[in-house]
């Protein structure tokens, strides 16, 4: 039975692109309820300037709260070395920095071109290493960019190698714009693993913009990917990439992986109950997913019994 880690990114990626600010107590209830459902890793927020993303202004408070939850890995996004310092001071277990493979998107998203971002990655990596905090690099827009168009796989490989040299401990391939297809997922995963090491690329961050999210998960599983980012109700998308809607729905991902015999540790029934916390805190905000509407499937053994 394959052990798969589902990393819940809703409190960060899910909330950063909506106009309203979810109350702190509601965020705490969300995080606690997901942990109680068996989710082992949650990206609780990001250390970005509050004037840019007021939705993330309470990230340090959320880290402090989540640290009291047993067996929960606490992750935050950091855009630069300053963010890495704040993450370390807050006491995170791990941090991730976005490195856009599209230079146009990088400038739009974090106001830095590729050489400047590699310098920032090196600084952040040193800060994380000195503090004993795990440091990952998210290779965003790896499958294409709504601003720049196609992103060559050779460029993704080249930049991944440079980020590894700068101190990345782990990588994720991020379908920021929802362009990925299963064949591309397989191909790019193989190329990046060959370039940086099989154990360095562990994670896929997928969107369901065009309905291919779960198919891309299966392709990733076949290539040895063991961690998948997802957002409760499919909330979120990058606010600096036009059309990048629809994160992978956590509930649908759990249903599929559990039914395939993968070991996620997540209780789907309990997870579905978490949805009401988000609905109550953000009334009218659209939530997605087939599983919440249709309900869980019968246990595999029950299905084959008749």
Examine the pLDDT at 306 and tell me if it is beyond 60: no
Q: Rounded to an integer, what distance in angstroms lies between the CA atom of residue 9 and that of residue 265?
A: 17
Beta strands 201-205; 94-100: pairing state:
unpaired
Specify the pLDDT at position 236.
82
**Mean pLDDT value across the chain:** 93
Evaluate the CA torsion angle 280, 281, 285, 288 in order and state its sign: negative
Catalytic residues: 238
- Rounded Cα–Cα distance for residues 253 and 235 (Å): 14
pLDDT at 274: 98
Is residue 1 very low, low, confident or very high in pLDDT (cuts 50, 70, 90)? low
Name residue 91's beta-bridge partners. Answer: none
Q: Cα 62 to the chain's mean position, in Å?
A: 17
What digits encode the pLDDT tens for the residues 40-86? 999 999 999 999 999 999 999 999 999 999 999 999 999 999 999 99
Which residue is it, tokens 């196609």?
150
If one compares 17 and 15, the residue with the highest pLDDT of the two is 15
Could you report the per-residue pLDDT of 80-138, keeping only the tens digit for each? 999 999 999 999 999 999 999 999 999 988 899 999 999 999 999 999 999 999 999 99
With a CB cutoff of 8 Å and minimum separation 6, the contacts of 260 are none
Tokens 């998308």 correspond to: 237
pLDDT band at 299 (very low <50, low <70, confident <90, very high): low
Question: Does residue 175 carry a pLDDT above 70?
Answer: yes
Angle at 183 between CA 180 and CA 189, to 5 degrees: 80
**Alpha carbon 82 to its chain's center:** 21
pLDDT band, very low/low/confident/very high, at 297 (cuts 50, 70, 90): confident
pLDDT band at residue 141 under the 50/70/90 scheme: very high
pLDDT band at 241 (very low <50, low <70, confident <90, very high): very low
Domains of the chain: 5-305 (3.20.20.70)
State yes or no: pLDDT of 290 exceeds 50.
yes
């Amino acid at each position: 039975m394959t052990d798969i880690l589902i990393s819940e990114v809703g409190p960060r990626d899910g909330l950063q692109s909506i106009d309203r600010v979810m109350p702190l107590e509601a965020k705490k209830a969300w995080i606690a309820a997901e942990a109680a459902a068996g989710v082992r890793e949650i990206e609780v927020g990001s250390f970005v300037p509050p004037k840019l993303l007021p939705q993330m202004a309470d990230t340090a408070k959320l880290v402090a709260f989540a640290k009291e939850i047993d067996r929960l890995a606490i992750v935050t996004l950091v855009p630069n070395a300053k963010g890495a310092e704040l993450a370390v001071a807050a006491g995170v277990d791990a941090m991730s920095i976005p490195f856009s493979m599209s230079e146009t998107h990088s400038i739009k998203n974090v106001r830095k071109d590729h050489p400047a971002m590699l310098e920032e990655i090196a600084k952040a990596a040193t800060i994380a290493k000195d503090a004993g905090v795990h440091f990952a690099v998210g290779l965003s827009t790896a499958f294409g960019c709504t601003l720049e168009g196609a992103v060559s796989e050779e460029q993704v490989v080249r930049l991944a190698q440079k980020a590894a040299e700068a101190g990345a401990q782990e990588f994720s391939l991020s379908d920021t714009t929802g362009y990925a297809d299963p064949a591309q997922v397989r191909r790019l995963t193989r190329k990046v693993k060959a370039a940086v090491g099989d154990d360095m690329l562990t994670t896929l961050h997928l969107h369901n913009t065009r309905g291919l999210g779960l198919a891309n998960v299966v392709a990733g599983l076949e290539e040895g990917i063991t961690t998948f980012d997802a957002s409760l109700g499919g909330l979120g998308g990058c606010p600096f990439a036009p059309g990048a809607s629809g994160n992978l729905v956590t509930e649908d991902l759990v249903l599929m992986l559990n039914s395939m015999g993968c070991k996620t540790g997540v209780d789907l029934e309990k997870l579905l109950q978490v949805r009401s916390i988000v609905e109550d805190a953000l009334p009218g905000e659209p939530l997605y997913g087939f599983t919440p509407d249709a309900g869980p499937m019968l246990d595999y053994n029950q299905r084959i019994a008749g």
